[in-house]
Amino acid sequence: MDTMDVDLLVIGFGKGGKTLAARMGRLGKRVAMVEQSDTMYGGTCINIGCVPTKALIHRAGELRPDDPPEPAFKDAVRSTTRLTDTLRAKNFEMLDTVDSVTVITGRARFVDPGTVEVSAGGDRLLVTAGTVVVNTGAEPVVPDIPGLRASAYARTSTDLVRDPERPGRLVILGAGYLGLEFAGLYRKFGSEVTVLEAGARVMPREDEDVADAVAGILADEGVTLVTGATVTGVTDAADHTTVRYRVGGQDHAAEADAVLIATGRRPATDGLGLEAAGILTTDSGAIAVDEHLRTSRPHVFAVGDVNGGPQFTYISLDDSRIVADQLTGPGTRTTGDRVAVPYTVFTTPPLSRVGPTEAQAREQGYEVGVAAMAVGAIAAMPRAKIVGETRGMMKFVVDTATDRVLGAALLSVDSQELINTVALAIRHGVTASELRDAVYTHPSSTEAFNEVLAALR
């Protein structure tokens, strides 16, 4: 069996791992990057996650009323595939051009705390490393529903973003962020979309008024949202499948050409041989790490979704900074340094949020003030009218005792950009009054802050 000894071994070509590998390689360290599939160079985001889904959402938003959906959808998938192919090649090149970095395609498995076996077909390679970083990401959770796993029509998000065949009828299991993004996307391309959610409402982590606004927009577009739904089985026929579910004691059924499983993702640790290395996991199956992202083996780190933190690409990137600080810096960076981390759900318009909701802020004992307005009613935001997207709302949660912004929920055009300004304000103590009275460019979406925050109550 061939052997290799390196300073750093990274398992998984995700954002955090590839960034760290490139950085250490440029410092002259011997680095091995192991990725189990050459179709995943660059990680989830560019191949099956953020980039392809948002590209398809963008193309869906460009559809005109008279555009035939079927050819438009095929063209959108083809162009998105070209984009991901280009980005995958660039990501491979980013590491392949660094002399001290070796990219290895194969499955990695710990055989002891300091040794990893990489296998590809009949080939085996033993890699020993002074430092190991696990960056294997997360994988879809498939619920134990009779007939679902065996169904020929069951799909994950990975399957759908690569499939040029548009399902005429799509049933989505789960009304979380992924499920709602796909619901809006496929509805715009003409699919009949039914979303089945077990909970009492969609987006339970959001304030009810914000979640209701999102649900209202999707319903207006023709998406059928069913809450309180318990899926009882999936039965295939010759050319479709039937999803059976129960609501309030009544049995129902929905026929579908595809069933999207959007019931969450879990850390991808199967087959890594963590037990052989003495690496502990949490009750949820994530690799257990401390505030420096060290595992129970001090020379092994876990970054990105696999460590059970927030499942965002930019968190994985920040994870790489924390590990780099341990390896080459003063070692003071921790996960506790993160304050006011925002996120966006790319519905149309997108929902972006940072900080606590109104309900959470009240539970935490703040003297809460709320500034909220419907986007269509904000006179100081002509951009929404210019681009023809006046749906949604803006909501700020303020500590009235200090005038500090605690959080915000922005359901509006450009919210994925606006939320970064709000997050920066929270981190640096910019008050609600300062945001309200700031001078913003015109016409822009940011100038809505002038009017919305003036409505603080």
| Segment 40-90, tens digit of pLDDT | 999 999 998 999 999 999 999 998 888 899 999 999 999 999 999 999 999
Q: Is there a single domain that holds both residue 442 and residue 348? A: yes
CA atoms of 383 and 413, how far apart (whole Å): 9
In a domain, 368, yes or no: yes
Q: In this structure, are 322 and 415 located in the same domain? A: no
**Rounded to whole angstroms, how far apart are CA atoms 390 and 309?**
34
> Domain for residue 145, yes or no?
no
Residue 43: predicted pLDDT: 92
Q: Are residue 231 and residue 326 in the same domain, yes or no? A: no
Q: Return the residue matching tokens 């049933």.
A: 171
pLDDT above 90 coverage of the chain, percent: 96
Q: Is residue 241 part of a domain?
A: yes
Closest CA to 125 of 219, 22, 5: 5
User: Catalytic residues, which ones?
Assistant: 442
Instruction: Tell me the pLDDT tens digit for each residue of 294-313.
Output: 999 999 999 999 999 999 99
- Contact (CB, 8 A) for 333 and 322: yes
Which residue is associated with the tokens 């395609």? 105
Domain count, the chain: 3
Residues 175 and 119 in one domain: no
Are 405 and 279 contained in the same domain?
no
Shared domain check, 220 and 109: no
**Cα end-to-end span (Å), the chain:** 70
Residues 323 and 133: their CA atoms lie apart, in Å, by 9
Residue numbers of the domain that contains 424: 343-455
pTM of the model: 0.93
| pLDDT at 64 (0 to 100) | 87
* CATH number of 74's domain: 3.50.50.60
pLDDT at 1: 73
Q: Which residue in the block uniquely carries the two structure tokens 């960056």?
A: 135
Alpha helices, DSSP H only, in 139-207? 157-161, 177-188
Q: Band the pLDDT of 443: cuts 50, 70, 90.
A: very high
The backbone torsions φ and ψ at residue 243, rounded to the nearest 5 degrees and listed phi first, read -100, 120
Same domain (yes/no): 8, 134: yes
Q: Identify whether residues 426 and 372 lie together within a single domain.
A: yes
Q: Of 283, 270, 338, whose CA–CA distance to 134 is shortest?
A: 270
CA 263 vs CA 160, 173, 260, 328: distances in Å:
15, 6, 9, 39
380's tokens: 């100081």
Q: Of 44, 285, 286, nearest to 156 (Cα)?
A: 44
271 exposed, middle or buried (CB, 10 Å; 0-12, 13-18, 19+)? exposed
Task: For residue 64, count other CB atoms closer than 10 A to its CB.
Answer: 6
The CATH number given to whatever domain includes residue 359 is 3.30.390.30
Regarding whether 406 and 303 lie in a shared domain, the answer is no
Which tens digit of pLDDT belongs to each residue from 146-202?
999 999 999 999 999 989 999 999 999 999 999 999 999 999 999 999 999 999 999
